[in-house]
Amino acid sequence: MAVVVAGSINVDLIQSVDALPRPGETVLALQSERLPGGKGANQAVAAARAGAQTRMIGAVGEDESGVWMTEQLSAAGVDTLAVVAVEGAATGTAYITVDTSGENQIIVASGANAALAPAMVDTVADADIRVAQLEVPVEAVAAFFAASPGKQAVRVLNAAPAVLEAKRLFASTDVLIVNQHELAVYLGQHEERATPQAALAARTLISRDDQLVIVTLGASGAVAVRAGSAVHVPAFPVVPRDAVGAGDCFVGALCAMLDRAGDARPTDEALLIFANAAAALCTQKPGAVPAMPLRSDVEAFIAAHPNEGRPI
């Protein structure tokens, strides 16, 4: 079994502040850090630490940051043979501000991530789970999801950040994961509502009976929506220290759960409980890649909270 992630690789430059700046406001940082990140890299590390054999397909620059990020992924147990250094490009960089409540603002300079091309993702004939996000070109994701001879992988798309062009990928996606903000964009809504009832609108994005749409709702948990059913699993109650990477942790952990189950697919409820628990643990440490929990820690956390994080 194998999870293969095609996506972004970024260096995260994190500034910790008392409160996020308002438009036109200057605030002073309490602390500055340089940490490994990028939605693709985050999800790959989350899957690897959750127990899945994981490979990363991505692009970095021919710079010190590219070498550093590749080393960081390898150290986390991710196969990096398909990570390419792009001549003349800089490694992607995310500028992140985090306040004392764990809320964050993020600006991403794509750099080499924008150079990920369809020809670069044609190396995954043996993948069981294919995972992609939208910090890389949509054309590359479309090629990554194209059926390979002899094997049909489960295709997981975290449609984030919201890119309307990516709606053409939904029909070839088996598991679509969005948060309430992204769901509102794809539905053409102006109002973003973090409620389980509002998440049911995701059913309009389903084009096949075997598709699953998962809507993450932050502190309200997550909802798994199918054509004829839905389940809401509340979040585990924790006080977040840093929410950066929690959504990516959710995706990676969920994919590891899918991979481990093989043909005996876990229930939607089981998927959400495990992914919610991993994301909750992720918020207890600073940064993205460094905060991804081990599978043993997630299982211990779930066992220690038998009456929390379950459907009501």
Nearest to 5 by CA among 56, 76, 68, 72: 56
Hey, what are 294's tokens?
């081990």
Please report, to the nearest 10 degrees, the dihedral formed by the alpha carbons of residues 51, 57, 60, 65 taken in order: 10
Task: Given the residues 248, 259, 268, 297, select the one marked as catalytic.
Answer: 248
- Asked if residue 133 lies in contact with residue 39, where contact means CB atoms within 8 angstroms, the answer is yes
Amino acid code (one letter) for 67: V
- Asked if residue 167 lies in contact with residue 206, where contact means CB atoms within 8 angstroms, the answer is no
Alpha-carbon span 249 to 43, nearest angstrom: 6
Q: Can you list the positions of beta strands (E) in 87-198?
A: 92-98, 104-109, 129-132, 154-158, 175-179
Alpha-carbon span 290 to 285, nearest angstrom: 8
In sequence order, the 6+-apart residues with CB closer than 8 A to the CB of 47 are: 3, 5, 54, 131, 252, 253, 255, 256, 259
Note if 174 is an active site residue: no
Number of residues assigned to the chain: 312
Alpha-carbon span 171 to 207, nearest angstrom: 6
Catalytic residue numbers read 248
